[in-house]
């Protein structure tokens, strides 16, 4: 990992100007492995993820990626490098192949099959109506779609929250294998078991600011009960 391959946030406030969700956030996010964003509901985890994909802008402060302010990046270029998947997999009308073509209009059949295989979906699904996929299949298709832009970072906003246990396991495995193959994964989770299975780094947010960051063993030993609770410390 290059040292410039991180997100740096300085004094970031976001949300309604009169009642911001994030308040003066100072943070460096490692851009390797799986970083899990944890913390209570309303802490600003999803808000932070949306800022990194630039679906929203902060009302104060600055976010830099690869040493450049996000506002200096062409938004479409930034989003192709910093991809995002959502809690409820957004399925576009048409077949699975049609969905892949939204990300890459010129995708070849070989490449489409390869990327489906990469996320653990059978290649026969390519011509299937995407609306008929199960929740887990749809989420993996969304990851496949995002991978077509060859991102360096994948932001995942509670990608398994709407899935059953079996589907959750396949999507977690996919997140892990992507991180191992060099795509930095920043994953929002409410599920402490999941956090403990996945996290290389943890960021605990509470009340719109950073409560703690570090490796799991460091946070397990924290004096702060909220931090220990957020990471499911034994």
Partner 1 sequence: MTGVEQGDIGTLGLAASGILVAVAVAISLWRHLGLERSLLWAALRALVQLLLVGWVLQFVVDPDDPLIFSVLWLSAMVSFAAYTTSRRAANVPKVLPLSLLAYTASAIVVLGVLFGFGIYELEGRTLVPLAGMVVGNSLAATVLVSRQLLIAATEQRGLIEARLALGLTAKQAFQPHLRQALRTALVPQIESTKAVGIVFLPGAMVGLILAGVDPADAVKVQVSVMYLVLGSVATTTAVMSLGIARELFTPAQQLRRPTTPTD
Residues found near partner 1 in the complex (CB under 8 A):
53-57, 71, 75-77, 79-80, 83-84, 86, 88, 90, 92-93, 102-103, 142, 145-146, 149
**Least CB distance to partner 1 at residue 234 (A):** 36
Identity of the residue, 157 or 211, whose beta carbon is nearer to partner 1 in the bound complex: 157
Give the residue with the Cβ less far from partner 1, 16 or 225.
Answer: 16
Instruction: For residues 205 and 102, give the distance between their C-alpha atoms in angstroms, rounded to a whole number.
Output: 34
* Residue from 178, 155, 182, 171 nearest 78 by CA: 155
CB of 186 to partner 1, least distance (A): 13
Nearer to partner 1, 103 or 204 (CB): 103
Least Å from the CB of residue 157 to partner 1: 10
Q: CB atoms < 10 A from the CB of 33, how many?
A: 18
Quote the DSSP letter at residue 208.
T
**Which is closer to partner 1, CB of 76 or CB of 181?**
76
Inter-residue long-range contacts of 72-78, CB under 8 Å, 24+ positions, other chains counted: 78/53, 78/54
Give me the least distance between CB of 156 and partner 1, in Å please: 11
CB atoms within 10 A of CB 192: 15
Provide the minimum distance between the beta carbon of 87 and partner 1 in the complex, in angstroms, as a whole number.
9
Return the number of the residue (55 or 221) whose C-beta is nearest partner 1: 55
DSSP 127-171: GSBGGGS-HHHHHHHHHHHHHTT--SEEEEESTTTTS-HHHHHHH
């Amino acid at each position: 990992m290059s040292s410039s391959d991180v997100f740096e946030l300085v004094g970031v406030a976001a949300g309604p100007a009169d009642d911001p969700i994030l308040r003066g956030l100072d943070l460096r996010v490692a851009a390797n492995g799986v970083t899990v964003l944890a913390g209570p509901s309303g802490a600003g985890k999803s808000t932070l993820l949306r800022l990194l994909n630039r679906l929203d802008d902060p009302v104060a402060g600055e976010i830099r990626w690869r040493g450049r302010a996000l506002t200096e990046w062409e938004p479409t270029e930034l989003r192709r490098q910093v991809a995002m998947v959502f809690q409820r997999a957004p399925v576009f009308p048409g077949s699975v192949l049609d969905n892949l073509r939204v990300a890459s209009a010129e995708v070849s059949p070989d490449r489409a099959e390869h990327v489906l295989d990469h996320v653990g979906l059978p290649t026969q699904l390519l011509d299937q109506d995407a609306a008929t996929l199960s929740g887990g299949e749809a989420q993996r298709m969304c990851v496949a779609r995002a991978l077509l832009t060859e991102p360096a970072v994948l932001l995942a906003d509670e990608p398994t929250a709407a899935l059953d246990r079996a589907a959750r396991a396949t999507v977690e495995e996919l997140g892990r294998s992507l991180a191992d193959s060099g795509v930095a994964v920043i994953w929002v989770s409410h599920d402490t078991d999941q956090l403990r299975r996945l996290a290389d780094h943890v960021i605990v947010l509470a009340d719109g600011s950073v409560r703690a960051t570090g490796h799991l063993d460091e946070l397990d030993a924290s004096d702060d009960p909220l931090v220990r609770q957020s990471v499911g410390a034994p």
